[in-house]
Structure 1
Amino acid sequence: MDATTKKTILKYDGGGLVEQMDEIVTEYPLTIVLNGSEFATLVCTPSDLRDMAIGFLASEGIIRFPDEIESVTIDEKRGFAYVEIGNKQPVAAEFFSKRFIGSCCGKSRQSFYFHNDVKTAKTVTSKAQVTIEQCLYLMELLQQSSSHFQNTGGVHNAALCDRDSLLIVRTDIGRHNTLDKIYGHWLQNRFSLHDKLIVFSGRVSSEVLLKVAKIGIGILISKSAPTDLALQMADELGITVVGFVRGQKLNVYTHAQRIIH
């Protein structure tokens, strides 16, 4: 299935309505069936669906390693991803819906998390550093890499990078889906992440920050703004957040020691 579709529209260009062909991003529901039972339905762009199914399950704490997966079958026409994993124990719904409140006194990152986040979120200890110029350059590369964004304006993009190049680029209507697609691809093609970073087109919410932590990346560079809760989590999880990377400007919000000039 194509990630975009064509539609005839009427466009006002200042002088009147003109009929023209426009490119529209495809919105696609994918239902993950885990060991024979429906687990979740994700609304996404229909590309890299295997990566997204695996990355989503890993982000939710269902799997940790690719060898836990027995099979993945994508029925693109019907919108199903059938995943069989070795652990046949049923997944309790409350595991994914109730907050875990830590018993520690004072500041406790656990009070922010769901049960599965406590299980899978990593405190990042990466010593990697990146220059301001490299941050600006990588964001420019990300913007140039997405023909779907340039043609539709309706998708988000994320890339797993080293300091000089984009290694894995994923596109989706959901900003969090781009990170699941990256995570799923990395799980199937594991390599060192100690010097890697993520460049991202969307707002940095707490959900986005947690997905980056679960992948194990220490630097997140975004074109957009962070939320206060995302920055609290970034402080506690050891993640450098750089936001509003536009033109020749950027803001460094947390763990600034990784950004050098």
Structure 2
Amino acid sequence: MEIVAQQKIRRFESGSFTEIESSVATEYPLTIYVNDTELVTIVCTPEYLEDLVVGFLTSEGIVRGPGDIDSVDIIESTGHAKVTANFVNKFNAKYRGKRYITSCCGKSRENFYFQSDASLVNVKQNTSFTLTTNEIFHLMEKFEDNSATFHQTGGVHNAALCDSAEIIYSRMDIGRHNALDKIYGSALQDGTKTENKAIIFSGRISSEILVKTAKLGCGIILSRSAPTELAINMAEELQITTVGFIRGDRLNVYSGFERITK
């Protein structure tokens, strides 16, 4: 399935209109069923769909991890993901209706806080993982090199999981949460440890993105943009390092100063 489509547009430039073709990001609604019960519909970019499902179900506490999932059947023609699970957290499934709307990508996806989020993120990030400023600049340069779809369409979010030397996974999606869930799902299914790793994110570090990072078990998040005040407060409580405005040879460290060295 194509993740980018071509659209005829009229561009105004230098005083006149020109008809051209422009690349736009594809939206794809994916409805997740768990043990034949409809759970949620996620509007996403149609790639790494199994990783998205596994990452979403685990990060939201519907299941405890891939071991609770027997199978994931993606039916692309109908937009269905049929999950067979041997364990489902009934509390989280029951109370999904009690949620708060967050400052996410509009209402195109059920990107909300669940009341259980506080219990899902109850372990502070006490990793000894550190990064130098030069390592951060190098990682951000690699991250930008992997952002072809963003540069082509301007309509997606990018995220990456990295260590101090290289990017391990790079994923993009029209939904910012989706990109992180795809990374989490990839790591879970590959058995890749997320401790002593960092998240690189293309957009603003909001409180819900901070929560997602904490659920992944990463102690550092890097971005070209800035964190919100609530995200910084949560980062200090969870001992997560937030680094923003990484541009050229400049960056700002907002929390967890001890993990970033010269």
CA–CA separation in structure 1 for the residues paired with 2:88 and 2:235: 34
For 2:130, the aligned partner's letter is Q
CA–CA separation in structure 2 for the residues paired with 1:116 and 1:139: 33
The match for 2:201 is 200
Query: After TM superposition, which residue ranges in structure 1, 4 or more long, deviate above 3 angstroms?
Result: 88-93
The match for 1:238 is 239
The match for 2:210 is 209
The match for 2:143 is 142
Are the equivalent residues in 2 in contact too, given 1:160–1:196 (CA < 8 A)?
yes
CA–CA separation in structure 1 for the residues paired with 2:93 and 2:194: 31
The answer to whether structure 1 residue 11 and structure 2 residue 11 are counterparts is yes
CA shift in 2, pair 1:116/1:163, >3 Å: same
The match for 2:50 is 50
Q: Shift in Å at residue 35 of structure 1?
A: 1.1
CA shift in 2, pair 1:92/1:55, >3 Å: closer
Provide, for residues 172-228 of structure 1, a one-character-per-residue CA deviation record: whole Å limited to 9, x for no partner: 011111100000111101133333111110111111111110110001001111111
Using structure 2 for the length normalisation, give the TM-score. Answer: 0.89
Using structure 1 for the length normalisation, give the TM-score. Answer: 0.90
Are the equivalent residues in 1 in contact too, given 2:187–2:194 (CA < 8 A)?
no
The match for 2:125 is 124
CA–CA separation in structure 2 for the residues paired with 1:47 and 1:187: 17
- Tell me the matched-pair count: 248
For 2:19, the aligned partner's letter is E
Q: Shift in Å at residue 115 of structure 1?
A: 3.8
28-37 vs 86-95, which deviates more? 86-95
Q: Shift in Å at residue 116 of structure 1?
A: 2.4
For 1:215, the aligned partner's letter is L
The match for 1:97 is 98
CA shift in 2, pair 1:194/1:129, >3 Å: same
**1:21-60 counterparts in 2 under 5 A?**
21-60=21-60
CA–CA separation in structure 2 for the residues paired with 1:69 and 1:192: 19
Determine what percentage of the aligned residue pairs are the same residue: 46
79-88 vs 159-168, which deviates more? 79-88
Q: Shift in Å at residue 65 of structure 1?
A: 2.2
Are the equivalent residues in 1 in contact too, given 2:129–2:197 (CA < 8 A)?
yes
CA shift in 2, pair 1:96/1:239, >3 Å: farther
For 2:120, the aligned partner's letter is T
Q: Structure 2: which 5+ residue stretches go unaligned? A: 101-112
CA shift in 2, pair 1:179/1:11, >3 Å: same
CA–CA separation in structure 2 for the residues paired with 1:201 and 1:163: 18
Q: Shift in Å at residue 229 of structure 1?
A: 1.2
CA–CA separation in structure 2 for the residues paired with 1:64 and 1:250: 36
The match for 2:185 is 184
Q: Structure 1: which 5+ residue stretches go unaligned? A: 100-112
Root-mean-square deviation (CA, aligned residues, Å) is 1.7
CA shift in 2, pair 1:151/1:95, >3 Å: closer
